[in-house]
Amino acid sequence: MTTSQTISHWINNDVFTGSSGQSAPVTNPATGQVTGQVALASVEDAQTVINAAAAAFPAWRDTSITKRVQTLFAFRELLNARRGELAAIITAEHGKVLSDAMGEVARGIEVVEFACGIPHLLKGGYAENASTNVDVYNIRQALGPVAIIAPFNFPAMVPMWFFPIAIAAGNTVVVKPSEKDPSSSLWMAELWKEAGLPDGVFNVLQGDKTAVDELLTNPAIKAVSFVGSTPIAQYVYRTATASGKRVQALGGAKNHAVILPDADLDLAADSMVNAGFGSAGERCMAISACVAVGPIADDLVAKIVERAAAIKTGDGAKGSDMGPLITKVHRDKVASYIDAGEAEGAKVVLDGRNVTVEGAENGFWLGPTLLDNVTPEMSVYTDEIFGPVLSVVRVETYDEALELINNNPYGNGTAIFTNDGGAARRFQNEVEVGMVGINVPIPVPMAFFSFGGWKASLFGDTHAYGPEGVQFFTRAKAVTQRWADPSHGGINLGFPENN
């Protein structure tokens, strides 16, 4: 069943259909029905969108910080009042349950609110009479048009990690959403228009690799923010930096949670279920490896099974606990990892491969799955599965658990569950991961900190949002000034000295 809805590009505060004539289906994962067709940009379409952002930049850069922030405040008020609309769009195209979609929007709003305070963050420093009759000061200025390439799993929150700060700092923006759930960005574009954002400051470019490659290589784009898998993050980083751009490319993850013998096992089990199966595991901060230390593994597994078996899988708009996976292809790929884990010797303690939902048999369903006795050689451990599959790895000591994590090529997020403050302090110091939770399973920092991993989870030096986001979307300029006076000293070809 295909509807006539067309999901287009957005430039100069209006819909732009483009000229490629190419499109891709957008599907409701809970029903398997095609709900629309998203435009796929040609190179010429991408250039049209980029040119609109470039044309709007000088005027927006020169708009006062006060006026920019007033527009941002207006956007925040509209977004806060109508967040339910955006959450419903996310659920319809991504599949996550409404409560999860509302949480996604709420975390995005935090970054909008952080960006509302940007006048303080853009202040420079001033040194009067740094040298005789010479004053020195520094300022931070916008880069120009910037690109945001967003993943399917957070179609609203991830773009909001970047564009509020970019826009508040005086940049113009081109957002390239995932083709799988592209409507959220268009909805936010219309909200920006209602908030009074001038034409060309916020633009949406729909498309596939053709659109992405133009954003990575077009000289008008000055910086690229990307979130996605590690292989694509590496490609984005290499291609865009080779074209002279500033890049932050956030990649994949294999997040471990260490459960020490002294941990509160009920808290740990609740946390493993929440972090492993929330959003059907389609989170870069999901816990996918539960490392049980010492003699507590059997009790912990039993508690996880008891909780996970009660999860209701179904349509995210109809009161379920966990929704479908994003596509049938992805659902089948995740199921194949369960097959492989079982064949390699892991014990399938809870099996989600045969879950069905009455009245929605064509949805992309895979229930919560728990594998025990997983070892580091198994593909279910080595690969980022991105689905509701939690692996239990049994070790004897803290040192073994730490070695597992530090030997892993990813370094996005991790957690430790313990009542021993000394062990927690040692872990946060020794673990080679960018974001650490202590009795917190999904340690996504608040908006006034910054989000980012280590190792193969981040390419580029700058983390997302927070103070590092302001640094990424601005560049420093130092000004040294002296007003003419009779004692300037005349001709002197020596290198200037301070005195």
Q: What is the DSSP string of 145-190?
A: EEEEE--SS-TTHHHHHHHHHHHHTT-EEEEE--TTS-HHHHHHHH
> Is 404 a residue whose pLDDT tops 70?
yes
pLDDT tens string 203-230: 999 999 999 999 999 999 999 999 999 9
Structure tokens belonging to residue 92:
């319809």
Tell me the two tokens of residue 410.
């990813």
Strand arrangement, sheet containing 474-481: 126-131, 134-142, 474-481
Query: What's the rounded Cα separation, in Å, for the pair 248 and 224?
Result: 6
pLDDT of 2 above 50: no
According to the model, what pLDDT value does residue 498 have? 77
Q: What is the mean pLDDT of the chain?
A: 96
283, 258, 299, 276: which is closest to 400 by C-alpha? 258
* 3 state DSSP class of 199: coil
- Give 4-250+456-477's CATH code, choosing from 3.40.605.10, 3.40.50.300, 1.20.1250.20, 3.30.465.10: 3.40.605.10
Instruction: Give the pair of three-digit tokens for residue 420.
Output: 């021993």
> Quick one: which of 385, 400, 367, 374 has its CA closest to 259?
400
What integer pLDDT is reported at residue 487 of this predicted model? 62
Rounded Cα gap, residues 240 and 165, in angstroms? 21
Give me the CATH code for the 253-436 domain, please: 3.40.309.10
Q: What is the mean pLDDT of residues 337-357?
A: 97
Average pLDDT over residues 478-496: 81
Told to judge if 116 belongs to the known catalytic residues of this protein, a careful annotator would answer no
Whole-angstrom Cα distance, residue 188 to residue 183? 9
CA angle 303, 305, 306 (to 5 degrees): 65
| H or E element that contains 402 | helix 398-407
Query: What percent of the chain is modeled with pLDDT above 90?
Result: 95
Average pLDDT over residues 39-59: 98
Q: Residue 3 above 60 pLDDT? A: no
Question: Do the strands 172-176 and 145-149 form a parallel or antiparallel pair, or are they unpaired?
Answer: parallel
Q: What angle do CA 87, 88, 94 make, to 5 degrees?
A: 85
| Residue spans per domain, the chain | 4-250+456-477, 253-436
Query: pLDDT digits over 168-178, tens only?
Result: 999 999 999 99
Q: Which tokens go with 290?
A: 């539960």
| pLDDT for the residue numbered 486 | 61
CB atoms within 10 A of CB 426: 14
CB 172 within 8 A of CB 10: no
What's residue 488's pLDDT?
A: 62
| Helices (runs of H) and strands (runs of E) counted in the chain | 16, 23
Average pLDDT rounded to a whole number, residues 223-248:
98
DSSP three-state, residue 74: helix
For the chain, what percentages of helix, strand and coil (3-state, to nearest 5) are there?
A: 40, 25, 35
pTM higher than 0.85, yes or no? Answer: yes
Assess whether the region 4-250+456-477 and the region 253-436 belong to the same CATH fold: no
Look at residue 490 in the predicted model and tell me its pLDDT: 76
User: Is residue 1 pLDDT above 50, yes or no?
Assistant: no
Residue 491 pLDDT: 81
The predicted pLDDT at position 4 comes to: 58
Question: Annotated catalytic residue: which of 46, 284, 378, 464?
Answer: 284
Of 114-123, 413-422, 482-491, which range is least confident?
Answer: 482-491
Residue 495 has pLDDT above 90, yes or no: no
Is residue 349 a contact partner of residue 305, using CB atoms and an 8 Å limit? yes
